[in-house]
């Protein structure tokens, strides 16, 4: 029978050549004392190193050295072979071995261990093949297993929690991210494995990002990437999660070219590793970044069509079909195409992320009542900034109060490094930022003001009409013309009288050289005006 930890009970032989003289003396002492625990820890350390550095074949050979010739050891050998193929990103081979192992150990005393190993491996396989829902199910089964995972616990548990957190970040599940941040701290780490320290740092970076603390998230993600890449982390052990954090922070800093460059590098690596899900996530990421600039509309349309062809025309990629709609949602949200957003939400009711995002995009154009806005949550930085930006647009409390709300949002934005959230706002807010007194502006706010002014100019230039530029108020009215609201309802939402609304509409139609609301709405839609 194998050792409870998977180690043979036979007398110890030195399997560790090429050590320093000091280390060799320690090893010789351990051999003399037949110190099984010492060699198990040394064995574990080597297993971890091979696992994290993408040496699957070496992992398999090293694992087999600790096993005897019993039937159970042969089964365990197969389990390690599956893990080795996972390490080498040989997902098809890994799945085939697991299928065989599950069948042969049915009813065997090792079946629970096999079940855990199988779900651990399949969590990664499903994730990288794009089925994140099944990946979550497998990860949870492995984490809830009543037994230890043999030679790799607590490493496996830490990595699985990190994987769950990555999925939660991709799907904007803040509650799950916060839970992962708690769960990772509960793992014992008696051997002080750097792998677990890095997992904790990565999860913290994802949590900071989710809560909108972009500066801290960026720095922590950057340092974790450096440490893990310096340690040779590759394949499924590469710091993919931290790279996504880095890219998202660059986007929120409005460093769009830098974000696109990082996405391109990540996409190339994903293609080399055959990580399909990561590759297409990068494609959607590029669409999201490009959608910030209305002038990129043609390029975005081409990218969405290509994404649709690649994913929807390949039956094996069916679990990733929601990514096409995600990419389109980012674009439709910029162009205020509410009917299309509704259609996308309707066919993705089982996808909480898309459903929530779609409803948020459709609801973002309704200011609501002042009391409603004041009761909006502010548990995260993003929620707080959004709340005070909305309040700054409501006139019922007076201009002075509007400025106070805007300053509160800007102050928090400067603190965490959030720029993009302001540049996504309608022209009325952008102009309010530009028009703040110079005495109220820090260097950060001066830079943001220049970007706001540039954004206003870009939006106006894209209209390409001869009747003169639209005012900020006219652009705001134009945005609402693509909704299902009546003219009276739009006026009420914007706190504009009926007669003033008529005046705005006449000016809009004249400047755009159109005859009615429908034609004006089409121009707004095509030009992605916000």
Task: Over range 504-509, report the average pLDDT.
Answer: 88
- Judged against a pLDDT cut of 60, whether residue 516 lies above it is answered with yes
C-alpha pair distances (Å), 148 with each of 7, 64, 101, 110, 352: 14, 19, 18, 12, 33
Task: Check residue 15 and give its pLDDT.
Answer: 43
- Judged against a pLDDT cut of 80, whether residue 304 lies above it is answered with yes
Tokens 């190993």 — which residue?
117
- Give CA torsion, residues 455, 457, 459, 463, to 10 deg: -170
Task: Over range 88-115, report the average pLDDT.
Answer: 91
Tokens 């948020």 — which residue?
360
The angle, 0 to 180 degrees and rounded to 10, between the axes of the packed helices 194-210 and 214-230 is: 160
Q: Other CB atoms closer than 10 Å to residue 204's CB: what's the count?
A: 20
**Per-residue pLDDT tens for 206-260?**
999 999 999 999 999 999 999 999 999 999 999 999 999 999 999 999 999 999 9
Task: Check residue 19 and give its pLDDT.
Answer: 43
Task: Check residue 51 and give its pLDDT.
Answer: 84
Alpha carbons 254 and 326: distance in angstroms, whole number: 21
Alpha carbons 160 and 283: distance in angstroms, whole number: 25
3-class SS string, 441-475 = CCHHHHHHHHHHHHHHHHHHHCCCCCCCCCCHHHH
Alpha carbons 195 and 233: distance in angstroms, whole number: 10
If one looks up domain 472-526 in CATH, what number appears? 1.10.10.10
Task: Check residue 414 and give its pLDDT.
Answer: 95
In angstroms, the first-to-last Cα distance of the chain is: 69
User: What is the maximum alpha-carbon separation in the chain?
Assistant: 97
Say if CB 242 and CB 221 are below 8 A apart.
yes
What six digits make up the tokens of 4? 């409870």
Q: Strand, coil or helix: what is 102?
A: helix
**pLDDT above 70 as % of the chain:** 85
C-alpha pair distances (Å), 498 with each of 36, 482, 491, 495, 507: 86, 18, 7, 10, 15
Highest mean pLDDT among 50-54, 258-262, 458-462, 507-511: 258-262
Q: Which of 19-23, 228-232, 350-354 has the lowest mean pLDDT?
A: 19-23
- Judged against a pLDDT cut of 90, whether residue 91 lies above it is answered with yes
Task: Check residue 21 and give its pLDDT.
Answer: 53
Where are the extended beta strands (E) located within 184-298? none
- Judged against a pLDDT cut of 70, whether residue 106 lies above it is answered with yes
Residue of higher predicted confidence among 520 and 226: 226
Task: Check residue 396 and give its pLDDT.
Answer: 82
Domain residue extents for the chain: 1-129, 370-438, 472-526
Task: Check residue 150 and give its pLDDT.
Answer: 52
3-class SS string, 315-355 = HHHHHHCHHHHHHHHHHHHHHCCHHHHHHHHHCCCCCHHHH
- Judged against a pLDDT cut of 60, whether residue 284 lies above it is answered with yes
Highest mean pLDDT among 27-31, 161-165, 333-337, 517-521: 161-165
Task: Check residue 6 and give its pLDDT.
Answer: 43
Where does the pLDDT of residue 410 fall: very low under 50, low under 70, confident under 90, or very high at 90 and above? very high
Residue of higher predicted confidence among 208 and 474: 208
Task: Check residue 378 and give its pLDDT.
Answer: 87
**Per-residue pLDDT tens for 108-139?**
888 888 898 899 999 999 999 999 999 999 99
- Judged against a pLDDT cut of 70, whether residue 418 lies above it is answered with yes
Residues 6+ apart with CB under 8 A from 451: 254, 419, 423
Q: Which of 206-210, 246-250, 425-429, 442-446 has the lowest mean pLDDT?
A: 425-429
What six digits make up the tokens of 415? 């603190």
- Judged against a pLDDT cut of 60, whether residue 20 lies above it is answered with no
- Judged against a pLDDT cut of 50, whether residue 467 lies above it is answered with no
Where does the pLDDT of residue 354 fall: very low under 50, low under 70, confident under 90, or very high at 90 and above? confident
Burial 223-235 (b: 16+ CB within 10 A, else e): ebbebbeeeebbb
- Judged against a pLDDT cut of 70, whether residue 3 lies above it is answered with no
Where does the pLDDT of residue 68 fall: very low under 50, low under 70, confident under 90, or very high at 90 and above? confident
């Amino acid at each position: 029978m194998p050792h409870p930890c998977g180690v043979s009970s036979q007398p110890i032989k030195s399997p560790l050549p090429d050590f320093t003289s000091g280390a060799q003396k320690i090893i010789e002492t351990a051999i003399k004392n037949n110190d099984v625990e010492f060699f198990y820890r040394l064995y574990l350390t080597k297993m971890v190193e091979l696992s994290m550095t993408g040496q699957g074949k070496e992992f398999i050979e090293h694992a087999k050295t600790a096993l005897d010739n019993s039937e159970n050891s042969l089964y365990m050998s197969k389990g390690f072979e599956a893990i080795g193929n996972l390490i080498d990103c040989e997902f098809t081979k890994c799945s085939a071995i697991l299928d065989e192992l599950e069948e042969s150990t049915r009813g065997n005393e090792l079946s629970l261990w096999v079940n855990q190993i199988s779900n651990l491996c399949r969590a990664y396989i499903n994730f990288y093949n794009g089925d994140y829902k099944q990946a979550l199910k497998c990860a949870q089964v492995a984490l809830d297993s009543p037994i230890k995972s043999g030679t790799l616990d607590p490493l496996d548990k830490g990595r699985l929690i990190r994987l769950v957190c990555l999925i939660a970040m991709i799907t904007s599940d803040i509650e799950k991210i916060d839970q992962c941040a708690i769960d990772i701290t509960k793992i014992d780490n008696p051997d002080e494995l750097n792998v677990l320290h890095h997992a904790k740092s990565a999860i913290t970076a994802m949590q900071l990002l989710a809560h909108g603390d972009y500066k801290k998230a960026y720095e922590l993600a950057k340092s974790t990437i450096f440490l893990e890449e310096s340690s040779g982390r590759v394949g499924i052990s590469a710091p993919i999660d931290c790279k996504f954090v880095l890219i998202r922070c660059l986007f929120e800093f409005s460093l769009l070219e830098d974000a696109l460059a990082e996405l391109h590098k990540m996409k190339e690596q994903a293609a080399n590793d055959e990580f399909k899900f990561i590759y297409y996530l990068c494609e959607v990421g590029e669409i999201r970044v490009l959608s910030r600039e209305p002038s990129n509309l043609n390029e975005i349309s081409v990218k969405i069509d290509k994404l649709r062809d690649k994913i929807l025309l390949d039956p094996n990629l069916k679990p990733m079909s929601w990514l096409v709609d995600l990419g389109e949602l980012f674009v439709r949200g910029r162009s205020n195409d509410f009917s299309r957003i509704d259609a996308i939400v309707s066919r993705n009711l089982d996808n909480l992320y898309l459903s929530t995002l779609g409803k948020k995009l459709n609801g973002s154009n309704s200011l609501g009542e002042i009391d409603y806005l004041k009761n909006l949550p502010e548990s995260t930085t993003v929620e707080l900034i959004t709340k005070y930006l909305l309040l700054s647009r409501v006139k019922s409390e007076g201009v002075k109060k509007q400025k106070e709300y805007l300053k509160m949002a800007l102050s928090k934005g400067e603190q965490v490094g959030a720029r993009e959230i302001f540049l996504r706002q309608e022209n009325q807010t952008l102009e309010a930022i530009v028009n703040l007194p110079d005495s109220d502006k820090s260097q950060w706010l001066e830079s943001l003001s220049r970007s706001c002014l540039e954004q206003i100019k870009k939006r106006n230039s894209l209209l390409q009409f001869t009747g003169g530029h639209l005012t900020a108020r006219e652009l705001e009215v134009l945005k609402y013309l693509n909704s299902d609201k009546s003219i009276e309802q739009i006026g009420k939402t914007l706190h504009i009288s009926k007669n003033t609304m008529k005046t705005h509409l006449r000016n809009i139609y004249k400047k755009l050289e159109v005859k009615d609301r429908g034609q004006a709405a089409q121009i707004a839609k095509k030009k992605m005006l916000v």
